[in-house]
Structure 1
Amino acid sequence: MFADIILPFATPMLYTYAVPEDMQGAITEGTRVLVQFGKKKIYSAIVYKLHEKFSSAHEIKSILSFYDDASAISKKQLELWQWIASYYMCSLGEVFNAAVPSVFKLESETSVFLNPDFDEDVVTTDYEEMIVQALQKKQAMTMNEVDELISKRSFSVINKMIENKVVFPEEKLAEKYKPRYQQYIALAENFNTEETLQAAFESLKRAPAQIKALELILSLIEENKNSDILKPPTEVFPGFSTALSALTKKEILVINKKEISRLDEEISAEKDISVLNSYQNEALKKIKALFAEKDIVLLHGITASGKTEVYIHLIQEYLNQGKQALYLLPEIAITSQIITRLRNVFGDRVCVYHSKFSDAEKYEIWTAVSGKNIHKKYDIVVGTRSAVFLPFSDLGCIIADEEHDASYKQTEPAPRYNARDTAIILARQNNAKVLLGSATPSVETYYNAISSKYGLVELSERFHDVMTPQILISDLRSARAKKTMQSHFSPMLMNAIRETLDEKGQVILFQNRRGFSPYLQCDACGWIPSCKKCAVMLTYHKYKTALVCHYCGYTVSIPKTCASCGSTEVLTKGFGTEKVEDEIAILFPEARLARMDMDTMTSRKKYIKVLTAFESGKIDILIGTQMITKGLDFENVRVVGILNADNMLHFPDFRSGERAFQLMAQVAGRAGRKGNRGKVIVQTSDPKHPVIVDFYHNEYINYIHKEIAERKEFLYPPFCRLIKIMLKHRDNNVVTSAALAMMTELNKIKDLHILGPENPVINKIEYFFLRNILIKLPKNNLNQEYKNKIQSVIQNIKANTNYKNLIVLCDVDMA
């Protein structure tokens, strides 16, 4: 018997291994196995297919071992992986790598051993001497340990030492998951009667600390209903740990290790499920009625209309049927408030899953969702895009909140999948239903709804009949002409902030650009500092006192003079969130400020700390990027300021208008959610722009219909499918030639509309020159056939020796 297996990295094909006779019957499709790949490396792999016949000119390696079914991949999961690989034009290995926790992807790591007979004369550098001295103290070191020892990548050093026979390498499998244990204390069986216990105390007459420790332990055991107790902290009283150690040596007490979960302790539901108002109840009824006819329904509900409560009621109905629910969110940032609301109702039946969890936590959640975890069983998963890969045992419904959000699309690395669209396929495999929710649905989703492919339910009233916020447009050109601007803030916005602070309200200021200033520029000659690795200007970060590239991380100190003409007049241009924070602190010194962007929110704890402080009224003005726009619910926000709408509108992308409207609508929805009517002030130099006009009149659907008509005319989604092919090479001439050759071959495929090759806006990143080719696929049943032909062209171009080291990336349904 033979097995085609999936390795956890990009390979253009599956590899075939022989199944040893003693493993036949135990190994099935989806089993995790251990195989040797290459001369020395050992990897965990997944069996994709079993078959009886295979011929090869080379010797076929055998599977080394296999793992139990706790880590097996189900048939449905493999089918989903295959769909992702085919649809998004990537390998199964890339899907495997993205889909499972890294604890399932064991691989051998190199350890080095000292040769006891090495020639000391060949050890010529300090690094080599350090490694030899370390290996004389310990038997072996991994390459990672050597890296840490000499504080640099050690490959070249170790390679030389191997050649000189100072050290020997060996491959060893690195186990990535280790159970967590806690120590528990119990009374030894020999002392479980009054007589034996009394004898124990008699024997301790000369050890008062041990008597005190034993009395404490016995009282704790009694409080715990005679069950083992968690080992107390080491120093309950001075000398406690020494006394405890003595009692265990005398075998009066025993210490046991018990495996525990890394996941949250049991959480009890605190609140009954809320009663829906008439609008929400009507929406829920329509959703359930449409689910009888369609598998996918769009809930278009304005901000603060109470969509989350509708979701909770829908989840409850599926739980009552014994089903599981997946609640998808586009970003980790939104999960904290949502998880609190769900746990208030459903308790510890809810878990969160996203990339910030440790590998061990991901493993435990994976097994808990599949029903194979001895500690936990989860019925509701709140997760970001990677949650679609979890092994649901009985999935009933999927809710994709903020379905329009571009964060659902994976950009790097492959697979470049859209979690919203993948969730629809996942639901189809499990006979589950999908509810897509948004105040500003994507053009594609809304078109599918009005075309009757999806069901459509509208929720157009705010919860508790709260009024929608008042939209005000502040004309920056007029304010600048009248010289009434205060820094980057118009009189209208300044007055609104002042009034809100006087009334003890809160303000959100949105600027979709982090850093202090987008760039520096010499006032004399126009020179702008740029990244040496990328074709992009460096952003000034005041708190780092440095210029930073937001694409590769390249950092330099602030130049004191112009590198071109020597002038000292090198000035900041534009503004980011950091500069907004600085200037608001000067203009409103009494206000308590906080900033939320990628620079400040470096951990989940910091994010929750700021949200909690803002929610409790300890922060008056919150400044941030799009991180503050999504799904957050604050009672006291009176004013939202959109500081620069223009930089969102004038981006070279066919979706720029749609994205700008969605961002503005989402951040506007944070205002006036409870009580007084909120106010949204949009600062723009182009108040007559069609998107600004429709936003002012709160006409998103009107805008969508105009956008649909325009996309139909120029053939853009939803009237075609887009594939972006990006070519990368360190030599600009090579990538230019390869792109032209690829374009020539692609033009031979009938019915494709092809644009390019073109230089992207940023045409060099990390020393790689870039070219883009955009393909518009007709929406028909031949999509996979077209993709196969495109992939064939790509493989032929990459095989050409003139284009050695060419990298080609495919992005299907690009965000």
Structure 2
Amino acid sequence: MNSTIQRNLFADAEPPPPTTDLFAEVVFDRPLDHAFTYAVPDELRDRVAIGKRVLAPFGRGDRPTPGFCVRLSRTAPERTVKALVRVLDEEALLTPDLLRLTRWMADYYLCGWGQVLNAVVPAGARDQAGTRALAFLEAVPEDELPQPRPSVTTKQQAALEELRRAGKPVELRRLAQLVKCGSGPVEALIAKGLARRVVRRVDRFSETDEPVEARPPVTLNADQLRAWAPVEQALRSGGFHAFLLHGVTGSGKTEIYLRAIEETIRQGKEALVLVPEISLTPQTIAQFRGRCGEVAVLHSHLGNAERGGQWRRVARGQVQVVVGARSAVFAPARQLGLIVIDEEHEGSFKQEATPRYHARDVAVMRARLENIPILLGSATPSLESWHNAERGQYTLLSLPNRVLDRPLPKVGLVDLRHDLPRGGPWHALSPTLERAMREALRDGGQVMLLLNRRGFSTHIHCPACGHVEACRFCDLALTYHRERHVMLCHYCGYET
């Protein structure tokens, strides 16, 4: 008897079967490897779409939780499912190519698909930061005007003519400025049925109004021409092709990047440029703007509002080039034609928080998925990229000389065991370094000393025989800490 009552109680608690034939698969910001199926109510059928965020009951208590819709299906699941609560976005935040890329990342880096999607879309884009709702005015079409037509004043007639001349909604304050009147005549047009108010959400941050100095392309030298030829051919023929541009500092790698970007823009496509965070200087950005037109900048130092505005500019196709640090690899470019990674060896391209990814590897996979060329440049390529070039996975391009045959800086390695002061105590500065510093200061130059160490002395060695005290476990030089009067290994913690 009691068991029968319990079964009836549970049966009554089950949700009624859905009356829709449309179902959405949703992933959440959780470490889960699968999507959850929800029924799409009739009132949400026209709004739901792949790549949009939705609000769905999830977890204990069916708490409304935001997630990403990753698939729509008309095949009903075998079990009863819950229904979506609301669609959160007006437009899809993710392109089909980005969905494929993030699915690969979830599998490759062993994390939830929802976690990847949540990290890919910046908070400013999710929350519509940097936007505000503004009231616009538009003229009522002729066939919808009230009959008989009400009389209007001179200012009202001027405002109405300005609306018809614009042919599109005009912001209320802007209309008042154009007609040189207050808000009274404008509001009167609405009251008389000659104009109507529409509310639109607009960006606070638009494209930069700063003047851009046009920079003509420079003449390539022989090394640059040899490196540019296969890149130009790959851009014109299309398809995935990975290049590793190995060039010494000052060899003109940036000019190869700019030429490739210009060729991409000529084809009506967009380019994505990844640079280390430290390289995102105003001079670098100005260099791209001077040659490549509209440029969007994405990096971690932007506020949510400005970053959201830049993201929306990219999604709308209002820029030709996206320049940014690690997270810019997920820029929602619709017509991507080229990816460039400068200083591809940099460790700052690694993301240390979930999802833990390497932007260089993600960029290579994105280029492969979207079937476009990718150009990696460095003066000191990473071992992984160099190995891929040796295996034939990447095409190796070399720029062995600096432009205009400028000499490379002299690098000297000083052995402190043999470079000792004469007739005096030992100093932290070797005689060779001290002479070089004095010469630079005497000539009016500057000197920069980098001291990257902990402790009073990075090592203790015998000037006579050259013996260095080392860790008995790691075979690394022990660091002398004068305050504690100990020698310490900073690798394993051994001290003596």
Could you state the TM-score of these two structures normalised by the residue count of structure 1?
Answer: 0.44
Q: Equivalent residue for 2:413?
A: 473
Moved more, 306-315 or 482-491: 482-491
Q: Equivalent residue for 1:275?
A: 218
- What do the CA deviations read for 1:691-721 (whole angstroms, capped 9, x no partner)? xxxxxxxxxxxxxxxxxxxxxxxxxxxxxxx
Contact 1:294 1:455 in 2 (8 A): no
Moved more, 306-315 or 489-498: 489-498
CA RMSD, Structure 1 to Structure 2 (Å): 4.0
Counterparts of 2:201 and 2:430, CA distance in 1: 63
Q: Equivalent residue for 2:241?
A: 295
1:285 aligns with 2:229: yes
1:371 aligns with 2:310: no
Counterparts of 1:357 and 1:267, CA distance in 2: 18
- How many residues get paired? 403
Stretches of structure 1 that go unaligned for 5 or more consecutive residues are 106-174, 194-224, 230-246, 520-561, 563-567, 575-646, 653-760, 763-815
Counterparts of 2:335 and 2:257, CA distance in 1: 18
Change (3 A) 1:342 1:249: closer
Change (3 A) 1:341 1:18: same
1:84 aligns with 2:25: no
Q: Equivalent residue for 2:472?
A: none
Q: Equivalent residue for 1:228?
A: 177
- What do the CA deviations read for 1:266-288 (whole angstroms, capped 9, x no partner)? 34431232313323233212432
1:353 aligns with 2:294: no
1:54 aligns with 2:77: yes
Q: Equivalent residue for 2:121?
A: 100
Match of 1:444 among 384, 394, 400: 384
Change (3 A) 1:397 1:502: same
Contact 1:5 1:45 in 2 (8 A): yes
Q: Equivalent residue for 2:342?
A: 401
Query: Which secondary structure state, in structure 1, belongs to the residue aligned with residue 319 of structure 2?
Result: coil
Counterparts of 1:271 and 1:484, CA distance in 2: 59
Contact 1:518 1:573 in 2 (8 A): no
- What do the CA deviations read for 1:218-274 (whole angstroms, capped 9, x no partner)? xxxxxxx99938xxxxxxxxxxxxxxxxx96988999x9994532452344312323
Q: Equivalent residue for 1:791?
A: none
Equivalent residues in 2 for 1:613-762, closer than 5 Å: none
Equivalent residues in 2 for 1:39-438, closer than 5 Å: 39=61, 41-51=63-73, 52-56=75-79, 60-103=81-124, 105=126, 177=129, 179-180=131-132, 192=155, 228=177, 259-278=202-221, 279-289=223-233, 295-347=241-293, 349-371=294-316, 377-411=318-352, 413-438=353-378
Q: Give the AA of the match of 1:336.
A: P
Contact 2:296 2:313 in 1 (8 A): no
Contact 1:267 1:343 in 2 (8 A): no
Counterparts of 1:8 and 1:437, CA distance in 2: 34
Query: Which secondary structure state, in structure 2, belongs to the residue aligned with residue 447 of structure 1?
Result: helix
Query: Which secondary structure state, in structure 2, belongs to the residue aligned with residue 3 of structure 1?
Result: strand
Q: Give the AA of the match of 2:95.
A: S
Alpha-carbon deviation of 1:390? Answer: 1.4
Query: Which secondary structure state, in structure 2, belongs to the residue aligned with residue 504 of structure 1?
Result: coil
Change (3 A) 1:290 1:432: closer
Contact 1:18 1:63 in 2 (8 A): yes
Counterparts of 2:200 and 2:48, CA distance in 1: 33
Alpha-carbon deviation of 1:402? Answer: 0.7
Stretches of structure 2 that go unaligned for 5 or more consecutive residues are 1-21, 137-151, 157-173, 189-198, 459-480
1:510 aligns with 2:459: no
Counterparts of 1:99 and 1:258, CA distance in 2: 23
- What do the CA deviations read for 1:307-344 (whole angstroms, capped 9, x no partner)? 11111111111111111011111324444332121122
Structure with the bigger RCO (C-alpha within 8 Å, sep 6+) is 2
Query: Which secondary structure state, in structure 2, belongs to the residue aligned with residue 70 of structure 1?
Result: coil
Counterparts of 2:436 and 2:296, CA distance in 1: 41
Q: Give the AA of the match of 1:351.
A: A
Q: Give the AA of the match of 2:301.
A: K
Q: Give the AA of the match of 2:291.
A: V
Alpha-carbon deviation of 1:517? Answer: 7.4
Contact 2:246 2:397 in 1 (8 A): yes
Change (3 A) 1:301 1:483: farther
1:29 aligns with 2:88: no
Contact 2:29 2:112 in 1 (8 A): no
- What do the CA deviations read for 1:422-475 (whole angstroms, capped 9, x no partner)? 111111222211011011111221122122221111111101211011121112
Alpha-carbon deviation of 1:14? Answer: 2.4
Could you state the TM-score of these two structures normalised by the residue count of structure 2?
Answer: 0.70
Q: Equivalent residue for 1:136?
A: none
Match of 1:14 among 30, 35, 38: 35
Contact 1:394 1:430 in 2 (8 A): no
Query: Which secondary structure state, in structure 2, belongs to the residue aligned with residue 89 of structure 1?
Result: coil
Change (3 A) 1:518 1:30: farther
Contact 1:34 1:43 in 2 (8 A): yes
Change (3 A) 1:36 1:320: same
Alpha-carbon deviation of 1:26? Answer: 4.0
Contact 1:484 1:491 in 2 (8 A): no
Counterparts of 2:401 and 2:448, CA distance in 1: 23
Contact 2:130 2:305 in 1 (8 A): yes
Counterparts of 1:500 and 1:181, CA distance in 2: 60
Contact 1:262 1:361 in 2 (8 A): yes
Counterparts of 1:484 and 1:60, CA distance in 2: 86
Alpha-carbon deviation of 1:31? Answer: 2.5
Contact 1:350 1:378 in 2 (8 A): yes
Contact 2:242 2:373 in 1 (8 A): yes
Q: Equivalent residue for 2:25?
A: 4
